[in-house]
Structures are given as structure tokens and as C-alpha cells.
Amino acid sequence: MKQYIIIFIALFLLFSSCSRNQLHRHSRESTVMDTYVSVTIYDPAISQEQAYALIDSSFTEFRRVEAAMTDYADTSEVGIVNVRAGKDTVTVSEELAELLKTSISFSEQSNGAFDVSVGPIVKAWNFLSPEPIVLSKSKLENLRQFVDYKKIIIDGNSVFLNRIGMRIDLGAIAKGYAVDKVIEILKRKGIKNTIVDLGGNLAVWWEGTHALYSAVAEILVRHPRKEGKFFGSLKVGTCGVSTSGDYQRYFINDNIRYHHIIDPATGYPANDVVSVTIVADDAMTADALSTTIFVLGRQKGMEFIKKSKGVEGLIVWEEGGSLKYELSSGLQGKFKRSDD
Ligand code: AMP
Ligand code: MG
């Protein structure tokens, strides 16, 4: 299924006042967290060597976050919490404790549409298997007993999953979190213009610009149904942008698409919309909310965007065989639909 995890957002700078050469662009790509990552630095003051050294330290940071947050390995911090579910309290890093607390607050705000304890259901669907199967309603009903963010007990840096069989899965938030960590490092090193993209969870850091009042970067949003094509583009300044789509990890059975974004209320993939792009102040918020709003669906999702300060969104859904979309008010005039 790895081939489905392809680049679905690309970036192009707008050359309003400066030429390509003046931008001094240094860029490298790699693979981390099962997807591509690219770090691009635009800075006339540093040499290619210095830029590459910074980009390499960014990749090291991505790998550090991945090693701690992955639930694929029983030996990662998250893996240990999962293995000890229902048995022991585990002392974790402050970083993981904070990320879990933040995740729980997204769950509270969304009434459980976002839930990092969705792990048992995601694991059972096994979207990465070469031959995934459709799970029965009764199997999902049974698994849902093990999914409940209220049963993640955190006290300081101690974490306890209050039931055997529970499982944390940070897949909907960790990539955005990692992007923000890398941006922090690059800012500390004095970089003023950079774009970091981890599998479509990206951050634009362009000193002195603002998400919606500046247009230094054009973000291309992947077409949810045409591989290699773009649905449209968004012009933004400093911000986090993330897209969640039903085309990233999926299989089709009897004409029904089963994909990796799960509605915790049913255990089935959420099916009201096909793609959600969120613009927020940082990449972690954009990442968590693109998944949340995908689960909430078109109407509740747009209401959620409207009431969330600093959050804007593009929701795409299928109707009568074609794709329709809605923009929140802040993105009006910032989004341009591509020709299909
Ligand atoms: P994203 O691509 O950011 O939308 O995240 C999707 C990933 O998040 C999935 O592959 C799962 O690992 C996890 N996930 C699926 N459904 C949910 C949910 N309702 N809440 C939190 N995480 C989820
Ligand atoms: Mg997400």
C-alpha cells in the first residue's frame, strides 16, 4: 500500500519581487514515518554546505520523534505504554505526556471524533497488509470497547491506559508535531525563510508574514481522485497546512472504499467527505484538525472550523459522481481550483 502514500501537496514559491536565483534555495528530500519529507531553506546568507548541515539535523530530529512516537515497535515510548495497557503506569518523556494531553484536548473539543486511542481499530483494519479485509460490524462493536480517550490516565509524566487491549496511535498528529519541532530548530539557528513538508503535513515559516494576509507560498492540494493531479492551490504566509484524504491508505471492496480515517463512533472509515485541508497557526494543529474535520463531515466539520480561532479549511466531498467543495470564509480569494 506504500505506493498510495505519495506526495499530495507540493510547494511552489511565488516570485513576486525576487527572482529564482535571489531566493538561494536549498532543498533535500528523504523518507521518514512511512512517507516522504522535504526541507527547503531560502536564505542568501548561508552557504549550500551550511544549509545541508541544517537540513540533515532536521532529518535527525524527524527520526528522533518517529522513534519515540511510533506504535509499530513495542520498544518505542508509545509501544511501551501500549504493551503495559491495563497493567502498569509508564513514566514517559515530558514531550510525549504533553502530546497526549494535547491530543486529549482535541478529543474533548470534537466530542471524540479525534481519538488517539483509536489504535485497536486501526490495527485491526490493517490497511498496510497486501490483502486487507472488511471487518464485521460485531467485530468493530467489540473493538470499540477498547477505544476511549477518557481512559488514558495522565498524571505529570505518568501514563496509564486503563484497560488491557487499549492502544495509542499518534498517526493523526505526530507528523505535524514533528514538523513544528523542526521549524523550531531552524528558527533557533536563525533561518528566516523555510518550508518543511512531511507527507503533506507542512509548515511555512517566512519571517514577518501571516497565514492569510501574505502570499509567499502556493500550496498545491492533491486531487482526491486523480493521482498526480492537483485539485487546486492555496496562497499562504507563515502557517501550518495539512490535508487528510481517503486516498492515502485504502482498499476498495464491492465498490466501497475503506480507508485509514476512522470514525470512532462506528469503527468504520468516516465517509461523508473525501478530503480536508486545514490551515492553522502551526502544523500540529493543522494535522490534528484535518483528521478531526474529516471525521466530523461536511456540516459539523465546517461549523467546527468556524468556531475555531485561527483555523481555516477546504472540505471536498463527492456528489452525483463529481467533486464539490466548500471554503471557510478566511480562504475565500486564497484558493484557486485547478482544471480537472
Ligand atoms: P491523517 O492522515 O493525519 O488524517 O491521520 C490518519 C491516521 O490517524 C490513521 O492512519 C490512523 O493512524 C489515525 N487515525 C485514524 N482515525 C483517527 C481518529 N478518528 N482520531 C485520531 N487518529 C485517527
Ligand atoms: Mg492528521
Is 284 within 8 Å of 291 (Cβ atoms)? no
In this structure, which amino acid lies at residue 87? K
231 and 223 in contact (C-beta within 8 Å)? yes
Q: Does the pLDDT of residue 262 top 60, yes or no?
A: yes
Average pLDDT over the chain, rounded to an integer:
92
Q: What residues have a C-beta under 5 A from ligand 2, the ion?
A: 172, 287, 290-291
Condensed to tens digits (0 to 9), the pLDDT of residues 168-207 reads 999 999 999 999 999 999 999 999 999 999 999 999 999 9
Which tops the pLDDT comparison, 227 or 18? 227
Give the number of other CB atoms < 10 A from CB of residue 36: 17
> DSSP string covering 92-116, please?
--HHHHHHHHHHHHHHHHTTTSS-T
Q: At what angle do helices 94-109 and 48-69 cross, to 10 degrees?
A: 70
Distance 84 CA to ligand 1 centre (A): 22
**Distance from the alpha carbon of residue 261 to the mean position of ligand 1, in angstroms:** 5
Q: Is residue 267 within 8 Å of residue 122, measured between CB atoms?
A: no
pLDDT of residue 174: 98
Query: For 169, which DSSP code?
Result: -
Query: Which protein residues are within 6 Å of ligand 1, measured from CB?
Result: 114-116, 118, 122, 169, 171-172, 244, 248, 260-262, 264, 287, 290-291, 295
Please report where in the chains the cell 505526556 appears, as a residue: 97
Residue 213: its pLDDT value, please?
87
Determine the Cα–Cα distance for residues 246 and 79; give it in Å rounded to an integer: 26
3 state SS of 41: strand
Q: 222 and 197 in contact (C-beta within 8 Å)? A: no
> In this structure, are residues 251 and 126 in contact, taking their beta carbons and an 8 Å threshold?
no
Residue type, position 126, single letter:
N
With 70 as the cut, is the pLDDT of residue 18 above it? no
Using the predicted structure, report yes or no on whether residue 331 has a pLDDT greater than 80: yes
pLDDT of 16 above 90: no
Nearest residue (by CA) to ligand 1, atom 11, is: 171
